[in-house]
């Protein structure tokens, strides 16, 4: 057997001023590092690089993510069938979905107990969920749902019936070169996809490679992966399974995506020979071998296979095959892969060398019977620590494909309301707990009533939404997330039956803001500033979380207290509210938006935000003047109103405005600017001098001359006109247009009469 020399780079026992030894678990005689040594294990912290001339620091950024719209999952929707695996943190079950669009589908359910997870393990669990939520690739396991309970985390993944590659390798000892070529090619495509997203996988080994029912590979377990790494950047964590670590990971001088290509070489060597290239009696010896040992190259391997191994086992990552911007192209062009049709492989059009033999009666044939013989039981979990609640905020997720199919089902649900289900709804009937009283308001899709809790006798408002007219899922979701804000109406409970959804909300006893003001016929500029401060604060909070209200008309601003003080201002009716989401289903946050959302979506969201500000401007104009800015009364036609709105035509003159400060006029002009891009954002309203200096504004009442009924009529006409304009106009043939008819009537004739 010929010996191939590999030059060492450095001594692995260099002092790096870190006394925390990584925790190791011995599994299959392999050393799996489950705790890193460097500070980059903590999200949002900057890596602490060890001095290295080529090293560059990088910042790891947490994705502030979460959840989805549409159908929400919980543990009760899954039937436990068998145990697929078990570890110190939890179990993996084979489950069947019993409710929802995908009822009957088999999944793998990974259940982790929060109380047994150390802080780093919790971070890695959330990292795995974040990464899986981003990725959709034919050779990477797919996350379908993620949710949590008080004590547990649940990841619902593809159930891959072929088991893991290690199980097959342990049975066959080694694979043929043709088999290895196929698996390596699919793995290379998966790794390249991860690298293109700035993700270093860092835990490539046979146990983390699963086979689906057709025999194609699926990479799984992203708990040790690292995000936000460019091809020329490095990270300094010390983690992974020691035997598969690249030299630059072992010596802790910083590693990049090139480390995964070394691990691919280790996996290739193991599949071809049945042995690991570097495997000592203990951790220290194994690491020394990785850095210094000569590699034994079996002579029964083909020249092309040996050449690929040598190219992958370059101790200098810069020279390693796969490193650099054209690394994947170099791998594809290597002679070992000469017979691979890469486009067909990516399209899964090449038959795998091994197709699992499966029967409906034995779905777990390729899983360890040590686990599958156990009775599937999701045991109770210990209560988690207080910090676990914040750490796992936003863990929930539903796959984009499920969301997309959910959108296609929307019309069907409206046509058949009994099929619509709100997961947050309580199982009991609302009529068992509340007495319904008089109507408070009637809208297009809903009616609002006063109700009384039968036991506590507390009064609430209940919004009754007809399922046949509107899907309230988005409204419920937004209120559950954001109604804790002081100036947003509180949502206390959700109920449903076959025809309606019931939202039990805070009862606003003070009535509508504008109705109360114009009924009093006087309001001071100082009071108006105090009200606008509360409203702008709430809208700014919503916009910061990428939520737009889209229906901020005066009737949706109310006083919670009968005293009608500014602190009791509430924004109500989120029926048209919208939460911006990326294509992968994650909620958008300020630091996450630009990378994942198309420009036209951002532009639309920015437009919607500016419309919210415009609505606040209309309200402020009316509070200061007792008049509507774009309508003079209920008799104004929609076309007249829209013309004024479109031209930004409103007046800041007249007897009423003579007593209004210049700062107030300035903020009104900025909020009602005709160009949405030049309109004042909600967060800038809060720092406008008129708001900042509100305590020094005039306290004298601004007397309104216009009749209150006329003011309300003008405001209602304004929003009605805008609502009509938002509806799409049915298109007719071009020759049916008024312009075409005029052209036919006045078409000039030529001298010859043609």
Binding site residue list = 84-92, 110, 440-448, 463, 467
Q: Looking up tokens 């601003």, which residue turns up?
A: 557
Q: Is 37 a catalytic residue?
A: no
Planar angle of CA 503, 505, 506, nearest 5 degrees: 175
- Helical segments of 627-753, H only: 638-647, 662-671, 682-685, 689-692, 708-726, 738-745
- 3-state SS, residue 329: helix
Taking the C-alpha atoms of residue 590 and residue 503, their distance in angstroms, rounded to an integer, is 29
Alpha carbon of residue 383 to chain centroid: 26
- Helical segments of 369-446, H only: 369-372, 386-391, 400-415
Backbone angles phi, psi at 649, to 5 degrees: -95, 105
Nearest residue to 273 (alpha-carbon basis) of 293, 298, 295: 298
Taking the C-alpha atoms of residue 489 and residue 509, their distance in angstroms, rounded to an integer, is 12
Nearest residue to 191 (alpha-carbon basis) of 252, 239, 136, 257: 257
- Per the annotation, binding residues for ATP are 84-92, 110, 440-448, 463, 467
Q: How far apart are the first and last CA of the chain?
A: 96
Task: Give 558's strand partners.
Answer: 512, 570
Burial class of residue 325 (count of CB atoms within 10 Å of its CB; 0-12, 13-18, 19+): exposed
Taking the C-alpha atoms of residue 164 and residue 389, their distance in angstroms, rounded to an integer, is 33
Neighbours of 420 (CB within 10 A): 20
Planar angle of CA 284, 285, 291, nearest 5 degrees: 95
Pairing of strands 522-524, 511-512: unpaired
Nearest residue to 547 (alpha-carbon basis) of 597, 590, 486: 590
274, 263 Cβ separation under 8 angstroms: no
The H-or-E segment that residue 452 falls in is strand 446-453
Pairing of strands 143-148, 578-579: unpaired
Q: How far is CA 660 from CA 250, 523, 699, in A?
A: 71, 12, 11
49, 57 Cβ separation under 8 angstroms: yes
Taking the C-alpha atoms of residue 51 and residue 48, their distance in angstroms, rounded to an integer, is 9
Select which of 40, 47, 65, 203 is catalytic: 203
Q: What is the largest CA-CA distance in the chain?
A: 105
Nearest residue to 629 (alpha-carbon basis) of 660, 668, 658: 668
| Sequence-separated (6 or more) residues with CB below 8 Å from residue 355 | 213, 214, 215
574, 481 Cβ separation under 8 angstroms: no
Select which of 212, 551, 608, 612 is catalytic: 551
The H-or-E segment that residue 618 falls in is helix 599-625
Q: Is 203 a catalytic residue?
A: yes
Calculated CA dihedral for residues 454, 457, 459, 465, nearest 10 degrees: -10
Planar angle of CA 312, 37, 231, nearest 5 degrees: 40
Taking the C-alpha atoms of residue 259 and residue 314, their distance in angstroms, rounded to an integer, is 10
Nearest residue to 431 (alpha-carbon basis) of 400, 452, 458: 452
Enumerate the active-site residues: 203, 551
């Amino acid at each position: 057997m010929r010996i191939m020399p590999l030059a060492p780079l450095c001594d692995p026992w260099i002092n790096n001023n870190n006394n925390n030894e990584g925790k190791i678990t011995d599994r299959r005689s392999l050393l799996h590092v489950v705790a890193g040594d460097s500070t980059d294990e903590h999200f949002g912290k900057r890596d602490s690089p060890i001095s290295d001339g080529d090293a560059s620091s990088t910042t790891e950024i947490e994705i502030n993510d979460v959840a989805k719209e549409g159908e929400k999952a919980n543990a009760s929707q899954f039937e436990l069938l068998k145990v697929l695996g078990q570890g110190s943190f939890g179990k993996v079950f084979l489950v069947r979905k019993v409710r929802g669009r995908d009822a009957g589908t088999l999944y793998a359910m990974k259940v982790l107990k929060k109380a047994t997870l150390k802080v780093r393990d919790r971070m890695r669990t959330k990292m795995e969920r974040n990464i899986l939520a981003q990725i959709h690739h034919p050779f990477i396991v797919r996350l379908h749902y993620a949710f949590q309970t008080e004590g547990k985390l649940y990841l619902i993944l593809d159930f891959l019936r072929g088991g893991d590659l290690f199980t097959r390798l342990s049975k066959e000892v080694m694979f043929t070169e043709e088999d290895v070529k196929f698996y390596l090619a699919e793995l290379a495509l998966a790794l390249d996809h991860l690298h293109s997203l700035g993700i270093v996988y860092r835990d490539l080994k046979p146990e983390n490679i699963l086979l689906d029912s057709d025999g194609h590979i699926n990479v799984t377990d992203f708990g040790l992966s690292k995000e936000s790494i460019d091809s020329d950047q490095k990270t300094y964590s010390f983690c992974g399974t020691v035997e598969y670590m690249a030299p630059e990971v072992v010596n802790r001088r910083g590693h990049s995506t090139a480390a995964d290509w070394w691990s691919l070489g280790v996996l290739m060597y193991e599949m071809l020979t049945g042995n690991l290239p570097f495997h000592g009696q203990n951790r220290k010896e194994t690491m020394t071998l990785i850095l210094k040992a000569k590699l034994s190259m079996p002579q029964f391997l083909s020249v092309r296979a040996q050449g690929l191994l040598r190219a992958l086992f370059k101790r200098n990552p810069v020279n390693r095959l796969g490193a650099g911007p054209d690394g994947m192209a170099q791998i594809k062009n290597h002679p070992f892969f000469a017979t691979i049709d890469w486009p067909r492989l990516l399209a899964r059009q090449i038959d795998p060398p091994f197709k699992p033999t499966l029967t409906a009666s034995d779905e777990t044939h390729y899983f360890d019977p040590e686990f599958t013989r156990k009775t599937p039981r999701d045991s109770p979990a210990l209560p988690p620590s207080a910090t676990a609640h914040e750490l796992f905020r936003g863990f929930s997720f539903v796959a984009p494909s499920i969301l997309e199919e959910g959108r296609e089902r929307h019309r069907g649900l409206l046509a058949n309301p009994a099929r619509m289900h709100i997961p947050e709804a309580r199982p009991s009937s609302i009529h068992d707990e509340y007495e319904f009283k008089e109507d408070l308001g009637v809208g297009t899709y809903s009616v609002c009533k006063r109700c009384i809790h039968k036991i506590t006798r507390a009064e609430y408002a209940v919004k009754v939404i007809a399922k046949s007219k509107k899907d309230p899922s988005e409204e419920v979701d937004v209120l559950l997330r954001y109604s804790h804000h002081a100036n947003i109406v509180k949502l206390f409970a959700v109920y449903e039956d076959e025809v309606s959804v019931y939202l039990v909300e805070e009862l606003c006893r003070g009535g509508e803001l504008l109705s109360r003001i114009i009924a009093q016929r006087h309001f001071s500029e100082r009071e108006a500033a105090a009200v606008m401060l509360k409203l702008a604060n709430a809208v700014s909070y919503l916009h910061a979380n990428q939520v737009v209200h889209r229906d901020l008309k005066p009737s949706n601003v109310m006083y919670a207290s009968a005293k009608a003080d500014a602190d009791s201002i509430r924004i109500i009716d989120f029926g048209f509210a919208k939460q911006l989401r990326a294509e992968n289903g994650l909620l958008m946050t300020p630091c996450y938006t630009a990378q994942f959302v198309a420009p036209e979506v951002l532009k639309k969201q920015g437009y919607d935000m500016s419309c919210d500000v415009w609505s606040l401007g209309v309200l402020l104009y009316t509070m200061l003047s007792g008049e509507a800015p774009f309508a003079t009364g209920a008799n104004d036609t929609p076309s007249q109103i829209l013309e004024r709105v479109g031209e930004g035509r409103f007046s800041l003159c007249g007897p009423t405005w003579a007593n209004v400060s210049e700062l107030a006029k300035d903020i009104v002009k900025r909020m009602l600017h005709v160009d949405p891009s030049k309109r004042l954002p909600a967060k800038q309203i809060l720092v406008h001098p008129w708001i900042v200096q509100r305590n020094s504004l005039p306290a004298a009442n601004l007397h309104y001359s216009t009749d209150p009924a006329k003011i309300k009529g003008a405001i209602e006409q304004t929003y009605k006109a805008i609502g009509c304009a938002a509806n799409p106009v049915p298109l007719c043939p071009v020759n049916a247009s008024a312009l075409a008819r005029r052209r036919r009537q006045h078409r000039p004739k030529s001298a010859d009469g043609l």
